[in-house]
A and B are shown apart, each in its own frame.
Chain A
Amino acid sequence: MSRKHNSIEASAVQSPTSFNRRHFLRGLGACVALPAFASLLPTRLMASSSAGKLALTSTGAPLRAAFLYFPNGAIPDAWWPKEQGADFELSKTLQPLAECRKNLQIFGGLDDRSAQPDEDGAGDHARANGTFLTGVRLKKSATDLHAGISIDQVLAREIGSVTRFPSLELTCETERPSGICDSGYSCAYQYNLSWSSPTTPMTAESNPRLVFERLFGAGPPGQRVENLRRRRQEQRSILDFVMQDARSFERRLNAGDQAKLDQYLTGVRELEVRIHAAEKLGDPKDPMAPTPAGVPATYGEHMDLMFDILTLAFQTDSTRVASLLLAHDGSNRSFSDIGVSEGHHDLSHHFNNEEKMRKVAEIDQWYVKQLASFLRKLDQVKDTDGHSLLHNSMIVYGSGNADGNRHTHVNLPIILAGAGGGTLTPGRHITQPSVPASNLFLSMADRMGVRNLPRFGESTGRLSDV
């Protein structure tokens, strides 16, 4: 057999304007760190009457919501603070958050019962991941996807029109394993947090360069806005063509195939709306930092870069809604950087072995440390109303598994960071009397200005004390 001719994988097309990450971070770090970097603020606020009270704080600043997922739950003893209320001491795992504890609410008693086995048997990781933001029971199938619309997409539908991007879906998972995922569940459940419909997962972006180019345009600093405009110009006529083309194609398809084409058409329509929005809302401010080169070498750097870009997206009011999958539930990543070389999932079934529990707690803490660095970034950026971005945000950090060892889905480790523009009472540890996590999401949706949403997922009401 002849030798391999194909080395396309190896020769990744690198944009000539891309720099290495250190370079990028220095540039971007400067933007992120400087509160006075006023040029990045949106040109005008979207407090126009047509937008109503969508995702705005009482001071007229944008209000943002982000949902961050970490895998495999957390060691409960090391996670939960002992005291309730405002006067609590940070637990071991939560130590890295000391600096921003006044901006946190640590919620106990939130459940995700749709992730429990019931009739469906094994597959707790797929369910934990797929139900976390949807709150519905997943159809157990390798190919016949059926989840529910996720809370971030509910928000995006309602308030997405006020920003250039209705929402951002991000992930730090660059690859999928081949073969079969968790116990008969499609991999789509285990790798997607966001669903725009029960059958359409919102595939997330893992490449920081691509997220950046999507937000601000390709090319070197200074030329990006022009590039965005040019692309948009071309796309208008193309979209007209493909829309017509799709219609004639549709007539030849049978019913099962029409659902696929419908996904295509939805994409076309959303892109049209985006082009329209870009024209109405104006071009983004070029951050003038070099474009990130791609996926950084280490996991920590990758995550950090995603946090930088998310911060930038909020700062420039490019979007007010985001989800970020730090790792899929069931992730078996090894953390040799912190001296834990065993796989995370493998370790999480620790069978109460103290050594293993200690190591899992160290991984839990590592993730919390990354969260702390993200919150710090948000806290350092001054928003249009003089508050910090963090003040004007609601950042959920949580997992759909509570105790990874036993695959429990009640009393989930969930943190809500930020003050929601002053509508939340952070700086507390509050244990709810066992209510669905959906109740929290519903309370967030209210604050984001979503109307006519009586229920979401498995909600039984609003969270009374947030």
Chain B
Amino acid sequence: MSSSVKPQAVASLLAATIQPAWGAWSRARNLLVGLALLALLPSPRCSAADSAPDAALFHDEIRPILQTYCFDCHGDGAHKGNVAFDEFKSDQSVLTNRDLWFKALKNLRAGMMPPVKKPQPSPEQRQEIAQWIKSAVFCIDPANPDPGRVTVRRLNRVEYRNTIRDLMGVKYDTQSEFPPDDTGYGFDTIGDVLTISPMLLEKYLIAAQKIVDEAVPEKKEGAKPKVYGRFFPKDPPAKSKERRAYAREVLADFARKAFRRPVDEKTVNRLAALAEETYSRSGKTFESGIGEAMVAVLASPRFIFREEGTGAPSGPGGDPLVDEYALASRLSYFLWSSMPDEELMRLAAEGHLRQDLPAQMERMLKDKRSEDFVRNFTGQWLRARDIDNVQIEERDVLAREHGTNREMDKTRKRFHELERKPEDLLTKEEKQEKDDLRSSFFKRFGAPLDPGLNSELRRAMREETEDVFGYVVHEDRSLLELIDSDYTFLNERLAHQYGITNVTGKEMRRVTLPPDSQRGGVLTEGTVLAVTSNPTRTSPVKRGLFILDSILGTPPPPPPANIPPLEDAAKGLTNDAPSLRAILAAHRANALCASCHNRMDPLGLAMENFNALGLWRTNEFNQPIDGSGTLLTGESFSSVQQLKRILVEKHAKDFYRTLTEKMLTYAVGRGLDYSDVETVDQIVSRIEKANGRASALLDGIVDSAPFQKCRPAPSARPAKLPSLSFNKS
């Protein structure tokens, strides 16, 4: 990017040349936005001027290591996977090819490269390469990692609901009133994709009206409603001048809470004027006037978006800290999915929040509101939210394990017939028949009575995932217990699904698992097992992908656009109903598929003993299930239990890093890139030093540069954007 070109000038030039036809504004606007964004790209922290030493280091130290261990496939004319380390056009292009080095760093650290059967560099050499990539290519200053830039975030629908609950004392069901939020990098907290369509804006306005209607009491003759004091500390004075002052007082306080930072005089004046305009009309009460102004506050972009201010610079050459109000909101939306409470606001006002962080973190995690963090984070990281809607057809799932025969097919067909008939059209006999068929069906399978995912079971599964994570966080346990543990959280229904006895009642509680249990850890939780399945069967590929993406942080690239037909490979299979293992083996026979499926399939196949309903099973289509496998990194296992042990013993660091990346993404509301490598590394080493304790992760995130600071705003202001309105009058 050339710095001599002023984006505004270019933009206005371009805008002027565009014919004022339909859509021109929209195109012009995008150009403007695009150019304005260009100006915001991170300025490299090490300039080209001092690239010579970095390039020299590459020639003298790094290249020889790569030559020894990598050039077989990625040099000397070989460029497997389109990667070659000796085809740079210049020294400069060695240093500017960040995507390549980012990939190389990930593969090197995950033990994916060099492949396990090839000669391996020493740990020191690995470290040296990683260090060079971070400092020379990524220009990272470990004392001052890049905080990155986060787009202003609007409240997502969970945050909106909780904020309204805490601000207004009203339950507003955003789940059904608002459309689902778009997600990015797997989370619904990402500023870039939290868009506002005209419909959503309209919904915000209607919501504000409904909420105020419900929350703000109209004072009746005599008796005051219970919640009166929440909004009105005293009765409105009679004289109009005092009334006005009182309105200002009430509204200034309300707006401060709602905007999560102090409000300026001008805003308060406008709010008070709005209120007065209403309450001075005949038949209108003072309270209804205040209510009107409150609606305006709730519809304001300052409520819907989280405005952040910049505070003091963090030290010489450092990026500025966000101000303490912004920090209060970052904390409360991270740990509560809601607005800051009075204590956080007070500390921010006094400028003491930063110094009081450890105590505040502890207090916030003890607060009930932290359950929302647990629910929203596990809901998305582990996809536990999806259990509410995942479609699993229990009869088809079970039929795979118990084979099919003519009599059973007949029973199923009859059952389906009865099922298709609307309930109120069934005769009494037919109802009885349907019930009988259902119970005989499940009895034959030896399955729990109705093993299907009804709402009770779905809820128990979701709570298991939440409770295990919540326990690790709240009790400050080792994060590795999320992978492998001798306990989980169950109620009677879920224990039954898992074949665990002596758990009675609907309450979820911590249960120590029998020594030979296959459960414990997220991989064998009902949520994960079900949401990674297809409606009628397990999907070892989806399950493997889940582990790679959510646990190990090494997702394979997406499949090629034109998947070669499987049937050619499957033709060689003689069995009528080949196992998924056999089909996948045939698939991997194709070299194009093998490179990724070799990574996914062994992980997913290790979980084959659990069907799509999360039930334990030992065979499918009358063949015993084989849960053994070998990871691409070389470790072999014979069961999912052993796989869990391997993950804990050999891949703890990969897991720490993955979890850190996921949680940091969730907390700061943007995707991570190469400039965040150092931040993540620092948190991971903090976790390692603390023997994996959850507090090290949470504290590490809150203390990190992306959480504490912001990239300084560019001084150049973009050109005023033209109006999008299609119907200017």
What is the interface of chain A, defined by CB distance below 8 A to chain B? 1-6, 8-9, 11-13, 117, 121-124, 142-146, 149, 154, 157-158, 160-161, 169, 174-181, 183-184, 186-188, 191, 196-207, 210, 214, 231, 234-235, 237-239, 241-242, 244-246, 248-249, 252-271, 273-274, 276, 294-295, 332-334, 336-337, 339, 341-343, 346, 349, 351-353, 406-407, 452-453
Contacts and interface: CB of A to CB of B under 8 A. Distances in A.
Contact of A260 (B30, B198, B305, B558): B305
A271 B198 contact: yes
A356 B508 CA distance: 41
Contacts of A349: 563
Given A237-B277, A262-B724, A256 B198 contact: no
30 contacts: A12-B173, A12-B175, A13-B173, A121-B558, A122-B561, A142-B185, A143-B192, A178-B183, A196-B197, A197-B26, A199-B33, A201-B197, A214-B202, A231-B206, A237-B278, A238-B292, A241-B274, A245-B300, A248-B267, A249-B307, A255-B714, A255-B718, A260-B152, A260-B191, A260-B196, A267-B198, A270-B198, A276-B729, A351-B570, A406-B562
Given A237-B274, A255-B40, A271-B202, A121 B560 contact: yes
Contact of A269 (B206, B208, B379, B725): B725
A334 B535 contact: yes
A269 B50 CA distance: 51
Given A237-B274, A255-B37, A341-B536, A177 B197 contact: no
Given A13-B172, A143-B184, A187-B182, A245 B671 contact: no
B561 A124 contact: yes
Contacts of A117: 561-562
Given A5-B371, A253-B152, A255-B37, A351 B270 contact: no
Interface in B436-492: 463, 467, 470-471, 474
Contacts of B190: 143
Contacts of B183: 176, 178-181, 186-187
Contact of B558 (A122, A214, A253): A122
Contacts of A124: 561
Interface stretch (B132-140, B220-228, B386-394): B386-394
B195 A200 contact: yes
Q: Which of A142, A145, A337 has the most CB of B within 10 A?
A: A142
Nearest to B468: A1
Nearest to A195: B197
Interface string B507-536: 110000000000000000000000000111
Contacts of B726: 157, 160
A263 B30 contact: no
A269 to B, nearest CB: 4
B10 to A, nearest CB: 14
Contact of A343 (B507, B534, B724): B534
A249 B303 CA distance: 11
A349 B565 CA distance: 9
B177 interface: yes
B383 A263 contact: no
Contact of A178 (B30, B176, B300, B380): B380
Nearest to A454: B21
A1 B200 contact: no
Contact of A13 (B171, B201, B727): B171
A174 B386 CA distance: 12
Given A8-B161, A241-B296, A270-B198, A249 B192 contact: no
B193 A188 contact: yes
A264 B198 CA distance: 8
B115 interface: no
A281 B270 CA distance: 32
Nearest to B712: A254
Contacts of A253: 152
A415 to B, nearest CB: 27
Nearest to A234: B209
A238 B291 CA distance: 11
Contacts of B64: none
Contacts of B278: 237
B721 interface: yes
A190 B587 CA distance: 28
A188 B393 contact: no
A149 B178 CA distance: 23
Contacts of B563: 349
A161 B299 CA distance: 25
B724 A197 contact: yes
A234 B380 contact: no
Interface in B329-368: 368
A188 B195 contact: yes
B302 interface: yes
Given A1-B474, A253-B152, A264 B201 contact: yes
Given A210-B177, A269-B724, A352 B372 contact: no
Interface in B553-585: 557-563, 565-567, 570
B463 to A, nearest CB: 7
Given A205-B179, A234-B295, A343-B535, A178 B197 contact: no
B379 A178 contact: yes
A179 B383 contact: yes
Q: Which of B271, B278, B393, B726 has the most CB of A within 10 A?
A: B726
A453 B19 CA distance: 12
B311 interface: no
B301 interface: yes
Nearest to A168: B199
B78 interface: no
B304 interface: yes
